[in-house]
């Protein structure tokens, strides 16, 4: 199994660490303490709804909201400006960046230090972070407790060669500097080539890196020059080995998408052998796809079940391996966009799929928070002998702990290749 390591899954205030090597050995159902650990990072001094980003073997935690110490679970989950610690940062908002160097840390994979030499130009709530052409773009996202006017700049970029942030044009949906109105709330985003696409409210926008300009695209998805599965709001993830195979989840179904080079209709293959959920539960969250290797992928989905008078939070996890059936249609990341994709038999599968592991975990420690996944990240741990050697990072040095997750990104190298 290529993907030997741990999976980190984050919400606004909690982190679930899953040891996928232990998951391999399990049968449904499973609640092994050695495989799963829940950590409330907000209770331990880190910002509420911070965003996390992996870049060049370093984990960065950006922004978020500083909430007052000692808030009850009920109070923390109620959206109110009185929950903010206004003595911290800018009226309770953080522009700090925490960093963890994964290459030098042999005993902990979630130890973060305050980045004293680098802060954002303005604080940001739930920032959206993407790396494009070697630069890191940071856009303010939806707020939860904060209800005031937006700190400017709302959009900035970090240039590693200059070691500094630079202000970028304010998005048109933030033009009034207030991002609590419905038309200002970002519902989703995607990156295709060097263009960032954003769905704010019910309207679509794009930012072109080379022109450094925002454009309004309209209210209909049909007006956007992208394949449907690349639109903002879709939670798909490309298989790293292929430029044209996307794993996605929608309406209780996990499926693969093969994007043809001519921009025609994509081929769809159901992945019922990996995940199929016909159950009726109290609540189901959006599923998230994470890449674990060139061909290995992971699917995660939170849910809540009502058992008697108790609501039980649970998380489903499945890992699987995919390979193209027809080598003549393979478009690896090192190959140009050509091949006989259009000759693929659309009446049959185009992928070989092997389910590696399946399991679900009851999360007794989740408390009152609805487990909506904000982001997830896979980290290889080839040198760890067991999860007990990894889990101490949760139990010890608590004040130095935080989350490290990778916000799933829809990224294609050739933007024009996927234009309609």
Q: Is the pTM of this model over 0.95?
A: no
Q: What pLDDT score was predicted for residue 357? A: 85
- Rounded to an integer, the average pLDDT of 238-257 is 92
- Rounded Cα distance between 301 and 291, Å, is 15
Q: What pLDDT score was predicted for residue 212? A: 96
* pLDDT tens, residue by residue, 78-113: 889 899 988 877 788 999 998 877 665 444 455 777
Q: What pLDDT score was predicted for residue 132? A: 94
Say whether pLDDT at 305 is over 60: yes
Strands in 148-285 per DSSP E: 155-159, 164-167, 186-192, 195-200, 203-208, 213-218, 237-238, 245-250, 253-258, 267-270, 283-284
Q: What pLDDT score was predicted for residue 33? A: 54
- Rounded to an integer, the average pLDDT of 248-254 is 89
What is the average pLDDT score of the chain?
A: 77
* pLDDT tens, residue by residue, 51-82: 888 777 777 889 999 999 888 888 888 889 89
Pairing of strands 351-362, 58-62: unpaired
Q: What pLDDT score was predicted for residue 200? A: 93
Say whether pLDDT at 290 is over 80: yes
Nearest CA-CA partner of 23 in 40, 7, 2, 39: 7
Which is more confident, 264 or 56?
264
- Cβ(337)–Cβ(329) below 8 Å: no
Cis? peptide before 285, omega within 30° of 0? no
Q: What pLDDT score was predicted for residue 347? A: 57
Say whether pLDDT at 419 is over 60: no
Say whether pLDDT at 350 is over 50: yes
Pairing of strands 213-218, 237-238: unpaired
Q: What pLDDT score was predicted for residue 417? A: 44
In the structure encoding, which two tokens stand for residue 409, read together?
A: 């990104």
Least confident of 165-169, 318-322, 374-378: 374-378
Pairing of strands 245-250, 237-238: antiparallel
Could you tell me where the DSSP H helices lie in 161-294? none
């Amino acid at each position: 199994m290529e993907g030997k390591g741990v999976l980190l899954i984050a919400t606004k205030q909690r982190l679930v660490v899953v040891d996928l090597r232990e998951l391999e050995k399990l049968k449904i159902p499973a609640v092994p303490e050695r495989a799963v650990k829940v950590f409330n990072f907000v209770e331990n001094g880190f910002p509420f709804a911070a965003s996390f980003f992996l870049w060049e073997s370093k984990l960065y935690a950006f922004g978020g909201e500083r909430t007052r110490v000692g808030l009850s679970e009920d109070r923390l989950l109620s959206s109110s400006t009185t929950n903010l610690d206004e003595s911290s940062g800018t009226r309770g908002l953080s522009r700090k960046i925490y960093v963890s160097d994964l290459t030098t840390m042999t005993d902990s994979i979630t130890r973060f230090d305050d980045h004293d030499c680098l802060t954002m130009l303005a604080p940001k709530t739930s920032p959206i972070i993407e790396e494009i052409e070697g630069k890191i773009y940071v856009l303010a996202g939806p707020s939860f407790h904060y209800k005031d006017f937006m700190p400017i700049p709302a959009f900035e970029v970090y240039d590693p060669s200059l070691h500094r942030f630079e202000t970028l044009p304010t998005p048109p949906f933030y033009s009034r500097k207030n991002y609590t109105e419905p038309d200002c709330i970002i519902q989703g985003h995607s990156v295709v080539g060097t263009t960032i696409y954003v769905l704010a409210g019910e309207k679509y926008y794009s930012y072109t890196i080379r022109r450094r300009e925002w454009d309004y695209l309209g209210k209909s998805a049909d007006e956007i020059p992208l394949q449907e599965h690349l639109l903002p709001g879709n939670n798909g993830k490309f298989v790293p080995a292929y430029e044209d195979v996307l794993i996605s989840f929608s309406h209780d179904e996990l499926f693969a998408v093969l994007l043809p080079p001519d921009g025609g209709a994509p081929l769809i293959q159901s992945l019922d052998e990996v995940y199929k959920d016909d159950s009726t539960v109290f609540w189901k969250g959006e599923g998230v796809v994470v890449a674990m290797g060139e061909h290995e992928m992971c699917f995660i989905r939170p849910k809540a079940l009502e058992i008697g008078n108790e609501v039980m939070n649970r998380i489903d996890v499945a890992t699987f391996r995919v390979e193209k059936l027809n080598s003549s249609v393979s478009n690896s990341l090192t190959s140009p966009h050509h091949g006989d994709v259009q000759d693929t038999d659309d009446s049959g599968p185009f992928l070989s799929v092997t389910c590696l592991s399946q399991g679900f975990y009851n999360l007794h420690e989740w408390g009152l928070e609805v487990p909506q996944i904000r982001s997830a990240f896979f980290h290889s741990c080839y040198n760890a002998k067991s999860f007990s050697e990894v889990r101490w990072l949760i139990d010890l040095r608590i004040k130095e702990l935080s989350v490290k997750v990778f916000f799933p990104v829809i990224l294609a190298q050739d933007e024009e290749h996927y234009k309609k």
